[in-house]
Amino acid sequence: MSRDGPILLTGYGPFAHHKVNGSWVVVQELNSIGVKHKDETVPLVIKEIPVVYDAVHEQVPKLWSEHKPRLCIHTGVSHYTELKIEQYARNSVYFPPDVNGKCPEKYECEAGGPIRHETTINVQLICDGANKRQNDVTVLVSQDAGNYLCEFIYYKSLHVGTSPTLFVHFPTIGKPYTSTQMAIGLKHIVETILDNEMDKM
């Protein structure tokens, strides 16, 4: 992890019955709240990504190249009732079509890529640390990112990125948490990562 560079945070755009994607709402709220490490404000770059496989292929490498983030966290919504941090992402099978009705070629993220990529971050440690910082939301480890755009972007970033990367799944807003509660929960996740990962350098 570089000590320089911003934190890159992405949320997804609308899909299916999610006319407003809660992940993007939460990311925008966190951008307003801010993130600190050792009492210093850390710059954030936020980006809304369309729920489109081709958009992920095009935009993710550009975001890494342009911003050279010290940390990257992608987010999305799920059926979970807790915040879930994903342990790894698989290269296939991405069969469900995106909002344009398309699937990736051969239903995989990267031709010839590893079966899966696993984050270098100690996910259980981050969950434990984030849960100790606050009581409004529960943060748990997950080992199934869903074989859709959420897992797809996670694999893509782990494949092309050069700094620690995570994917965080949020419940639907209001089921049970408000967007503000989840933004604060995400803040604690990010700050726990910064405290643990930066201290290794």
Residues with catalytic roles: 86, 150, 169
CA distance 73 to 10: 7
Strand ranges for the chain from DSSP E: 7-12, 36-37, 40-41, 44-49, 71-77, 83-86, 88-90, 116-118, 139-142, 165-170
CA distance 138 to 99: 30
At 193, give phi and psi (nearest 5°).
-60, -45
Tokens of 201: 């350098």
CA distance 143 to 75: 15
